[in-house]
Amino acid sequence: MRILRVLCTLALLAGAAALKAQTNNQPTNDPAITALSVMGVVSELKPDTRQVIVTTAAGSQVTVTLSDRTVYMRIPPGEKTKDKFIKIAPTDFAAGDSVFARGRMSDDRKSMPALEFYVMSKGDIAEKKERERSEWSKRGIAGTVSALNAETKEITVDARTPEGPKPIVVATTGETKFRRYAPDSVRFSDAQPGTFADLKVGDQLRALGTKSADGSRFTPEEIVTGSFQTISGTITEIDAEKKEIKIKEQPVTIAITKDSSMRKLTPEMVTALTTPGKAGGDLQEKFDQLPAFTLAELKAGDSIIISSTKGTDPARVTAIAVVSGVGPLLQNKQAARTTAVSLGAMSLGGP
């Protein structure tokens, strides 16, 4: 049933639409708006008129009018069958919750009276994400694909460990689920179903499953992969309005989005990366703890390292991660390589 397929994507929308600026120029091809439905996040409540402003991931806004005829249901995290949904009161939702409303959309696709109003609360979504993060942290591995065996469907991965990269054989089965990052996308929610055939040596990989007793083999339940590139250079131009950066070393335009992670190296991190034997531990965790910065803090002459997916236009990339304060690293090839590998792993953020 179409409604169930749509509903199971609600968790991926949490917060995405709420960050969009209000606009009167609505996209005419917004996939979240159809003749009979809208899917997005509650960005405003109007109790006096019983109206809800629903903002889609693309930034379109639809005024949904509720009534005594409207059926209200809450979707527990992870549930996909309608018999598991829970009936709620007309007041049992709030701004920031993800919703899927059904009714008849107006011709201008800006308003709709709702016959059905399905809700997934932002609190439930946050709890679900935390559980998933914990599960992937405890039962997951991450690393770079170093070899592929098409006959046995086995993947050799240089997995990241506190002691440094270690090879591990990931033995896929017919039950293994594959997902792959989309070109030009920085969001895990845009990842598409994939197959073993999509994999390439050099890909970044995360897998959830069970490790053998000796740690040399891994049986995956789910695999997420992506083809990323890391570039570095000195900033020559910053367009604050377009949120674009240009560097001297490569003829490429770097686009910054709200999903781009921007971190600044601390002197301690520079020392750890440039001193042999000091860059141990989980580098992704260390990068996550670095201080964040904004585009406004960058200036021409700054050195940066950027991680991005390999997109369709080689002259333009969308940044997944941007690291500043990397001048000393660019003088140290090993440190630069370690940072690049770590950024690739950071890019594959996972669920």
- Full set of structural domains in the chain with CATH: 2-120 (2.40.50.140), 128-226 (2.40.50.320), 228-347 (2.40.50.320)
- Residue 285: predicted pLDDT: 65
Residue 22: which pLDDT band, with cuts at 50, 70 and 90?
very low
Given a cut of 70, is residue 151 above it in pLDDT?
Answer: yes
Given a cut of 70, is residue 300 above it in pLDDT?
Answer: yes
Answer yes or no: pTM beyond 0.85: no
Q: In this predicted structure, which of 21-35, 63-77, 118-132 has the lowest mean pLDDT?
A: 21-35
Rounded mean pLDDT, 76-80: 79
Q: What pLDDT digit, counting tens, does each position of 240-292 carry?
A: 999 999 999 889 999 998 888 899 999 888 887 777 665 555 566 677 788 99
- Residue 123: predicted pLDDT: 85
From the list 245, 230, 250, the residue with the least C-alpha distance to 306 is: 230
Q: What pLDDT digit, counting tens, does each position of 95-118 carry?
A: 999 999 999 999 999 999 999 999
- Residue 2: predicted pLDDT: 45
- Residue 341: predicted pLDDT: 55
Q: In this predicted structure, which of 218-222, 311-315, 343-347 has the lowest mean pLDDT?
A: 343-347
